[in-house]
A and B are shown apart, each in its own frame.
Chain A
Amino acid sequence: MVERLAESATEGGGKVSIVDCDIHNAVPSPESLKPYLSTRWQEHQEMIGPRYRHGFTQGDPYPRGNPNAARLDAWPPSGLPPGSDLAFMREQLLDALDIEYGILNCLDKVGEQLNEEYAAALARAVNDWQIAEWLEKEPRLRASIVVPYENADFAAAEIERVSDHPGFVQILLLVRTREPLGRRKYWRMYEAAQQYGLPVGIHFGGMGGNPITSSGWPSYYIEDHTTMSQAFQSQVISLVSEGVLERFPDLRVVMIEGGFAWLPPLMWRLDKHWKRLRDEVPHLKRLPSEYVKEHIWLTTQPMEEPTNPKHLLQVIEHLGSEEKLMFSTDYPHWDYDDPNRAFPIRLPPDLKQKIFSENAHALYRFEAGE
Chain B
Amino acid sequence: MRSTDSRRESDRHLAKHIVATVDEIPPGERKIVEVAGRSIGVFNLGGEYFALRNQCPHAGGPLCEGVLSGFVQARVPGEYSYVRRGEILRCPWHAWEFDVRTGQSWFDPAKTRVRTYDVTVEPGGDESTSSNELSEAGLEWGPFTAETYSVSVNKQNVVLEL
Contacts and interface: CB of A to CB of B under 8 A. Distances in A.
Do A and B touch each other in the complex, judged by CB within 8 A?
Answer: yes
Given A72-B65, A72-B66, A72-B67, A341 B59 contact: yes
A46 interface: no
B81 to A, nearest CB: 18
Interface in B10-61: 59-61
A335 interface: yes
Contacts of A340: 60
Given A72-B66, A72-B67, A73-B65, A342 B59 contact: yes
Contacts of A52: none
B94 A73 contact: no
Nearest to B92: A72
B153 interface: no
B60 A66 contact: no
A65 B61 contact: no
B62 interface: yes
Interface string A279-322: 00000000000000000000000000000000000000000000
B94 A335 contact: yes
Main secondary structure of the interface of A (DSSP, over half): loop
Interface in B56-104: 59-62, 65-67, 92-95
Nearest to A342: B59
A341 B59 CA distance: 5
A41 interface: no
A66 B92 contact: yes
Interface in A333-367: 334-338, 340-342
Contacts of B92: 66, 71-73, 334
Contact of A338 (B59, B67, B95): B59
B66 A338 contact: no
Nearest to B60: A341
Contact of B62 (A66, A73, A337): A73
Contact of B95 (A65, A73, A337, A341): A65
Interface in A66-83: 66, 71-73
Contacts of B59: 337-338, 341-342
A336 B93 contact: yes
A66 B61 contact: no
Nearest to A307: B115
Interface of B: 59-62, 65-67, 92-95
17 contacts: A66-B95, A71-B61, A71-B93, A72-B67, A72-B92, A72-B93, A73-B65, A73-B92, A334-B92, A334-B94, A334-B95, A336-B93, A337-B59, A338-B60, A338-B61, A340-B60, A342-B59
Given A334-B94, A338-B60, A341-B60, 7 more contacts: A66-B92, A71-B93, A72-B67, A72-B93, A73-B92, A335-B94, A340-B60
